[in-house]
Amino acid sequence: MLSQTSLEHNEQKNEKGSVRNLLDRIHINAVLPMVGFIVILLVFAFLTDMRIVQPKSINLILSQVYVLMIAASGVFMVMTMGGLDFSQGSILGLSSIVISYLSFYNIILAIIAGIAVGAIIGAINGFFHVKFRIPSFIVTICTMFLFRGLNAYLTTNSPVAAHVSVTSYNVTWLKMLLTILVLLIIYLLFNYTRLGMVLKAIGAGETAAKYSGVRTDLTKFLVFTAAGAITGFAAFLNVIKVGSITATAGNQLETQILISLVLGGMPITGGSKVRFYNIIVGSLIFCILNNGLVMLALDTAMQQLIKGIIFVLVVALTIDRESIQVVK
Amino acid sequence: MDDIILRAENICKSFGITKAVKNVSMSFRRGEIRGLIGENGSGKSTFCSMLCGIHTVDSGRFILDGEELKINSLVEANRKGISIIVQEMGTLPGLTVAENIFLGNEDRFIKCGIKNTAAMNQEADRLLEKYGFRHIRGNSMIDNYTFEDRKLVEIVRATYFDPKILVIDETTTALSQNGREELYKIMKRFREEGRTVIFISHDLSEVIEYTDTISVLRDGELIDTVDSDKVNEDDLKRLMVGRELKGRYYRTDYGEPVSDDVVLSVEGLTVPGEFEDVSFKLHKGEILGIGGLSDCGMHELGKAIFGASENRRDTVALADGTRINSICDAIKHNIAYTSKDRDNESVILNETIRNNICLPSLDKLAERGILRHKKLDRFAGKYADMIHVKMTGINQFVSSLSGGNKQKVVLARWLGRDFDIIVLDSPTRGIDVKVKADIYTLMYELKKKGKSIILISEEIQELMGMSDRILIMKDGIINGEILRSPDLSEEDFIAKMV
């Protein structure tokens, strides 16, 4: 309708801008995810009679969080640029299969191959997104189906089992160490090198970023590749946890990542308001929510319903309306 | 009393903590062309967008034809006979010209729930014919037309239903001379028919020439309403700024020789469909003006020099023969560029002033690849202060700045980069006199420091006032060269442009 004239947009931006600035100054947006984390923890602690904060439950929650958190950190970079990546689940599946095959020969080789497989799929995503100017969510949905098909084919006859020795790596300290290592590297790159600013600039205004000397196409290609490689690495943690890979490996990972990041306060459009802690807080909230609902012995349909409602509410509360293009 | 059509009574509007319009009361007569002037951020646009239902009024009221005006949207305003042509792009891409013209009023072509597209296109063509815009067709996509043609479509949309009040918000800067003439004709027709026009413009000579009365706003307050035939530009500037401004703000030196050192040579540069075989040399410390009508190819030329054009042919080279083939090449070799499309290409709106200023210089700011936040803060603060950006702090978002301040952020980021050559495309477009004067002063200082400037502009006065040498483009080729002289007149330019 007529109300879409850009004058109104500009003025509304100003209006919202000043309110937002005020919010920024008192850091409401910044603390909201933290508050959400604490509230959810308290609610479930209350509902489960403190069972969820017992060491056993915490261990369980942590064991689920590693793969999610590592894979989310790659998608985090993609989403900072304003892109989306739905191919992570199938990457995890395919990399896990490759790692399982190669675990019979050499575990280091297996890990490297897993990373390489992820990187190749990521590069395919990046190539089609950049070269043919296809929106990233469409490209990655295509690759999601493509490689999920391949996974199903490879696991048709029987699940692909890894060498028995891999489960010996399934120890908490190693998984925690590797997760912290990946997160630390991304934290440092994101906050103390050009990477973070460049990614945010692309998310907030790609054309202007290009005119500021950012190699936008190359950056996008590399980030998609890196996101794939990171999930390829997460596949190693997946293999040592589950031991054998079925056709459903990695199912839903992409939506879990998306939900985690949004719960962690990440603006779905990326841009300048992205913060690194979005990854950590988001994955933790997601896993607590997941386990809490299971502990409450709700049936799966009800769990889905509740997760859906929370997701919609969080998006509605936190979405950055001023940077969203009006597409009706 | 009877000929008062619209009365504004104590209108107030705030955005957050900023008071955009403070207690403004004024009356508009039938058959009056009222100029509305003021610096950027003085509240002109806000006042008019409240009149047109785009914003709600905080307090106060508008009285139209003796009745209080209660509207919540532009469509309602249109139905009450109020219409607006906005400053920035107001047409919607992906729709046809006809769909744009009748946006919100498609009902008249709908019978039993079915839209009669043929009738709509026919009616659009009839209107376009009537306005004399014969080259625009109702059934083609709006995207096929230039910025200026789209503006013409907007003019048709805003005026075809003969509104009682027409608001023209800073539209002429987007139009060439021909387009302006059309607009002036429409304004005069409105006056003869007893309708009212509210005309916002930064071009004071234009305001004086085409309006009956002029209201001056400053910091959201109404300063005065004066008769157009009793004031001159200096009077208006004084009212707008609140203090004496120097009568002229262009540079005043003539006959100073320009260095012979060539810093940039452009050879046979071509972008198919835009311009062809452009060659010139830029010297150290030279301000080279490039002028012409808005679609003569000069804006694309600016982009091409910066390496931003796709499918560009032949060369842009530095003095030592280094070719500039991409934006990264250009920036690496200290060439800077400010776009006419400021909001999309020059700044990132949804990003802080700090990051906007630092972005082009990140490679210089990083120490062994590591960025220190304090260093970035200091860097951004230094250059924002150097050029006096009006802001609450470097973490303010650029989207909340006025046009003039956005342009200052653009200049600050390139000053931080310490360029040797800068391409300024329409640097003062939509910017008030005060910031304009600042920009001209800065250009002169840069010239004195030996920086070379390519000034692309649609304002002949600006080109005459600032350039050492001016290339005039017409239909994609260079059609003449004019050297700096105090005796130039606009006619010399226009003869070569059209």
B288 pLDDT band (50/70/90 cuts)? very high
Give the pLDDT of residue B72: 84
Domain endpoint, select from B206, B241, B276: B241
Choose among B46, B350, B358: nearest Cβ to A271. Answer: B350
Q: Do B271 and B228 share a structural domain?
A: no
Domain residues for the domain of B216 are 4-241
Number of structural domains (chain B) is 2
ipTM of this predicted structure: 0.82
Residue-wise pLDDT tens digits, B109-152 = 887 778 788 888 888 898 888 888 888 888 888 888 887 888 88
pLDDT digits (tens, 9 = 90+) for B375-402: 999 999 999 999 888 888 898 989 888 8
Say whether B96 sits in a helix, a strand or coil. Answer: strand
B371 alpha-carbon distance from chain centroid: 36
Chain pair A-B, CB pairs under 8 angstroms: 148
Q: Is A1 within 8 Å of B103 when comparing Cβ atoms?
A: yes
Per-residue pLDDT at B178 exceeds 90: no
- Cross-chain Cβ contact A3/B74 below 8 Å: yes
Residues 6+ apart with CB under 8 A from A177: none
- Does any CB of chain B come closer than 8 Å to the CB of residue A29? no
Mutation to test the B interface, candidates A272, A274, A326, A328, most B Cβ within 10 Å: A272
Give the span between the Cα atoms of B480 and B191, in whole angstroms.
40
In a domain, B246, yes or no: no
Of the candidates A238, A266, A240, the residue with the CA atom closest to the CA atom of residue A81: A266
Integer CA distances (angstroms), B310 to A18, A210, B93, B347, in order:
37, 13, 22, 21
Element counts in chain A: helices (H) and strands (E): 13, 2
Is the same domain home to B340 and B442? yes
Is residue B247 in some structural domain?
Answer: no
If pLDDT is split at 50, 70 and 90, which confidence band does B201 have? confident
Q: Classify residue B179: in a domain, yes or no.
A: yes
At which residue do the structure tokens 């010239």 appear?
Answer: B447
Do the domain assignments include residue B442? yes
Judgement on whether residues B157 and B277 belong to the same structural domain of the protein:
no
B276 vs B266: CA distance, rounded Å: 12
Whether the per-residue pLDDT at B405 is higher than 80: the answer is yes
Q: Count of residues for chain B?
A: 498
Residue percentage of chain A with pLDDT more than 90: 53
What pLDDT score was predicted for residue A318?
67
- In chain A (328 residues long), the average pLDDT of successive 10-residue segments reads 39 45 53 83 87 86 92 95 94 95 93 96 96 93 94 89 87 93 95 93 92 94 97 95 88 91 86 90 91 87 87 75 44
Closest A-chain CA to B158: A2
pLDDT at B89: 63
Q: Suggest the residue from A7, A24, A218 to mutate for an interface test with chain B (most B CBs closer than 10 A).
A: A7
Q: Look at A22 and B185; give whichever has higher pLDDT.
A: B185
Each residue's pLDDT tens digit, B449-460:
999 999 999 888
Return d(Cα B183, Cα B192) in angstroms, integer: 14
**B220-238 per-position pLDDT tens digit:** 888 888 888 888 888 888 8
Are B174 and B317 contained in the same domain?
no
How far apart CA A247 and CA B462 sit, in angstroms, is: 69
Taking the CA of residue A317 and the nearest CA in chain B, the distance in Å comes to: 19
- Listed residue (B202, B240, B209, B219) closest to B428, CA to CA: B202
Please check whether residue B53 lies inside any domain of the structure: yes
Report the CATH number that the domain containing residue B185 is assigned in CATH: 3.40.50.300
The count of C-alpha atoms lying within 13 angstroms of the C-alpha of A47, restricted to the half-sphere facing its C-beta, is 16
Is B84's CB within 8 Å of A7's CB? yes
Contacts of A219 in chain B (CB under 8 A): none
Q: What is the distance between the alpha carbons of residues B102 and A319, in angstroms, rounded to a whole number?
A: 33
> What's the pLDDT score for residue A3?
39
Nearest to A10 among B78, B88, B370 (CB): B88
**Domain membership flag for residue B382:** yes
Q: Is residue B293 part of a domain?
A: yes
Smallest Cα–Cα separation from B107: which of A64, A2, A120, A99? A2
Spatial contact of A227 and B353, defined as CB atoms under 8 Å apart? no
Q: Among residues B116, B84, B82, which one has the least CA distance to residue B98?
A: B116
